[in-house]
Structure 1
Amino acid sequence: MFDYSTKVRVRYAETDQMGYVYYGNYASYYEVGRVECLRSLGLSYKALEDQGIMMPVLECHTKYLAPGKYDELLTVKTVIKEMPSVRITFNYEIYNEAEKLINQGETTLVFVNMETGRPCRVPESMEKLLSPFFDK
């Protein structure tokens, strides 16, 4: 298992009239979480694209537990529980400044060869970086 936490400040544009994070913005926070999670390993989306691999989202699930609020500094904890193959699943927990769990989510992305448009296996570069966290 590999996990990484990053911070996101709630901007005014991300809130509704009540000052709560608009529900659709949590997917953006998940994206920040997974991009920074991979970056912490030394791998960027840009590097994957340069290798001819894209990672479209196949599924996104969200559970809203409490509202995020304008100007809060949220913590996005991103967890990879299983070694990826053709797909990679990220689990998320979002905490407010009081360290209260306010949101849980999960996204599944698929590795796609940009040249063929077909699914492919996890890139070797990512597999090498993640394998120490999943060795038996």
Structure 2
Amino acid sequence: MYISTIKIPVRYAETDQMGVVYHANYLVWMEIGRTALIEELGFKYADLEKDGILAPVLDIQVSYKKPCKYGETVQVKTWIEDYNGLKTVYGYEIWKESGDLAVTATSSHVCVKKDSFRPVSIRKTHPDWHAAYEKAKRRQ
């Protein structure tokens, strides 16, 4: 299984009055991690969109363990938890500088045609992308 790791400094604008990261900002960091993973595998999500394909979120599961705070730098680890040619489940861990696990999460996405939102198989439309995901995904 391939794991992408990216460091993100916690910005003041991402926190509440107590200096704790507002819960929705973890979703933004997950998107940053997902984008980094896709690019490290040799692709760009923007290219998929140019081909008329989108990958909307079907489901997100997040478990908050420890708060991240202003001034820290966090590590976002992202991997392909499951993939079947149509639906992709990404896994995430967000780690604090202290080495404490702050968040675990998954997000599920399905590829659809931009004009109709009908599901589309990446296995058929983008075989190189499919092969890279098959190679990188978590082995059961």
Q: TM-score, normalised by structure 1?
A: 0.92
Q: CA deviation at 1:126?
A: 1.3
Aligned-partner SS, 1:82: strand
Between 122-131 and 74-83, the greater mean CA deviation after superposition: 122-131
RMSD: 1.5
Q: CA deviation at 1:113?
A: 1.2
Native 8 Å contact 1:21 1:69 kept in 2: yes
Aligned-partner SS, 2:18: coil
The correspondence of residues 118-133 of structure 1 with structure 2, limited to 5 A, is 118-122=118-122, 123-133=126-136
Match of 2:15 in 1: 15
In the comparison of the two structures, how many residue pairs are matched? 135
Aligned-partner SS, 1:91: strand
The correspondence of residues 78-93 of structure 1 with structure 2, limited to 5 A, is 78-93=78-93
Question: Unaligned stretches of 5+ in structure 1?
Answer: none
Q: Give the 4+ runs in structure 1 shifted more than 3 A.
A: none
Between 97-106 and 119-128, the greater mean CA deviation after superposition: 119-128
Q: How many Å separate the matches in 1 of 2:84 and 2:128?
A: 12
Question: Unaligned stretches of 5+ in structure 2?
Answer: none
Native 8 Å contact 1:88 1:109 kept in 2: yes
CA deviations 1:29-72 (Å, max 9, x no partner) are 11011011101111111111122211111101111100001021
